[in-house]
Each structure stands twice: as structure tokens, then as C-alpha cells.
Amino acid sequence: MKVLIRNTALDGRPLDGDGEVFTGRSPLEVVLAMKGATLFSDHRDCEDYIDMVLRNAKMLAGIELVVKGDALEEKAASFLAALVDQGLAVILDEKTAGVPAVVWQGIDAVRLSGLTNMLDRPAVIRIAGELGFPEAARWIETHTKEYAEGVFRGFIVEAQGGKP
């Protein structure tokens, strides 16, 4: 299972083409990966993490997410379904490829530098290398189609493996 958790504007509106991909064999594994990628969530169990997200969604964006279930697996599935229903998450086709986080860091560094137009792929590759992002330079060089799609549609950044 592959889920894109969409980033949002301050008003809770999902941003197109912007988010992070989490994978797992079950909804619970996906939620555990999400929890692992969250700052300061090491001391919380999975149910506390879900409750924190529900509170934050309501308090910060006015979004009411309803989660049901007695068992943790049921709650995780209900939680992901609620995120999908609100447009905050998208279940992806298993073939959908994301860009590794380390590659995204290099692409974003080049973008923020303002040294070139992001459509000038050879210049982006050169600058990524000069800025200390050789992984990004190699990825852009070998994934020309994915890079072009990312520039026009937005990059989906793969999670760096959460801690259960």
C-alpha cells in the first residue's frame, strides 16, 4: 500500500503535487511510518499519534476527522480513510514512483538558489553537484522523464523510513 499524505496551506486546503509518500503492507504499517516521520513522536504510541493528528486537524484547520474502530488496525484503516475523504491523502498505484528525500533536498536547494531555470536540466545537474548533492545530480541525469514530470506537476517525496 502506498499513500501520499498531502501538505496543506495554513487554512487546511490540500496543496496539489506536494506531499510525502508512505508505504506499508497494511494501513497500520503506513500510519506507523507516518508517526516515525513526525517530530517528537517517539514517546507516543500509535493511538496517541492518531489522536494528535485529529486534534491538530480540528484546531489548526477546522477539519473534523472521524475515526472508528476498537482494534488498532481498524483505527489505522479508518484514519487513512478519513484523510482520503477530506482530500488530505491519496492512495497511490503501487507503480507510482516518488523521488527519494535526499534527491528532493538537492532539487529544492537548486530551486532556492535561483541560479538557473529548473527546466534547464543540464544546469540543474551541474548546480546540484556544485551545491553538494551528487545523489540528486545522478538521479536527475538518469530519470529525465520523472524529473520533467516533477517540475511540471510537483514532486512526490518518498518518506525516509519511519520508526514503528
Question: Which tens digit of pLDDT belongs to each residue from 115-131?
Answer: 999 999 999 999 999 99
Mapped onto helix, strand or coil, the DSSP state of residue 135 is helix
Asked if pLDDT for residue 41 goes beyond 80, the answer is no
The pTM of this model reads: 0.60
Predicted local confidence at residue 96, as pLDDT: 59
Sign of the dihedral through C-alpha 160, 30, 35, 66: positive
Beta carbons within 10 angstroms of residue 108's beta carbon: 14
Please tell me the least confidently modeled range out of 32-36, 59-63, 134-138. 59-63
